[in-house]
Amino acid sequence: MSTTSIPFSAQLRATGREAHQAAESQRYVTALVAGDLDRAGYTAMVVQHHVIYEALEHAAEAMRPDPLAGPFVDDALTRLPALAADLEFLLGPDWRGRVDPDPATVSYAERIGEACAGSPERFVAHHYTRYLGDLSGGLHIGRSLDRHHGLTGEAGAAFYRFDRIPDPRAYKDAYRARLDALPLDEAGRATLLAEVLVAYRHNTAVLAGLSRLVPGGAEAAA
């Protein structure tokens, strides 16, 4: 069966499956879901997310009028206000002066800025990688934070609450339908697929760096 007969969203999922599993299996993610991190360990990830989504949502504003990428730009997905609220809750009103992103996070944000500049295909790759993950495993993480730390959409975990998306499954189905309808030639599909792998590599590097915050992380990494 040729790849042209396979829905593009299915090609994306298949291409990124191993990379996605590598990210999900990072010690930091396992510890976060299990409740093995203290609040500072969780807060460090919120700091990294703010830097990443600042780059992505800046790119989204630039891509809003683009005929290919624009349909994916949806204010219902916007995460920056929620991340700012979470950081204010976790660190206080002066949080902006107290955050120091990891080098891997800075590299990830720089890649988003460079890749998305003038390339709607690469923008869609980063958009897909982040937001569909947020609407899948991210919701599970939000429930874990409530259970283990008492953090909720109102206090410290607003990032994981999508008030304007009442049915995440239906939203993801519609998102994949937009992917399948993208008017891409072979080169455009290849560009988008390759950038998805780049996005996963950067995300995994960020999570690997955060593993230092897992109890015993330094010994395990030695």
The two structure tokens encoding residue 106: 């800075």
> What pLDDT is recorded for position 4?
57
Residue range 96-108, pLDDT digits in tens: 999 999 999 999 9
Q: Residue 152 pairs with which residues in a beta bridge?
A: 155, 156
Phi, psi of 180, rounded to the nearest 5 degrees: -65, -25
Nearest 10 degrees: CA dihedral of 169, 9, 55, 88?
20
> What pLDDT is recorded for position 128?
97
Residue type, 32: L
Q: What domains does the chain contain, in order, with CATH numbers? A: 3-215 (1.20.910.10)
How far apart are the C-alpha atoms of 159 and 163, rounded to whole Å? 11
Number of other residues whose CB lies within 10 A of the CB of residue 150: 11
**Residues in the chain, pLDDT under 70:** 1-4, 217-222
Element (H, E) at 73: none
Decide if 157 contacts 145 (C-beta within 8 A).
yes
CA angle 140, 195, 45 (to 5 degrees): 35
How far apart are the C-alpha atoms of 128 and 196, rounded to whole Å? 8
> What pLDDT is recorded for position 61?
97
Residue range 191-201, pLDDT digits in tens: 999 999 999 99
> What pLDDT is recorded for position 217?
58
Task: HSE, CB side, 13 Å, CA atoms: give it for residue 103.
Answer: 0
> What pLDDT is recorded for position 137?
84
Residue with tokens 């809003």: 64
> What pLDDT is recorded for position 24?
86
- For residue 12, what are the CA distances in angstroms to 25, 143, 183? 20, 27, 15
Whether pTM > 0.95 for this model: the answer is no
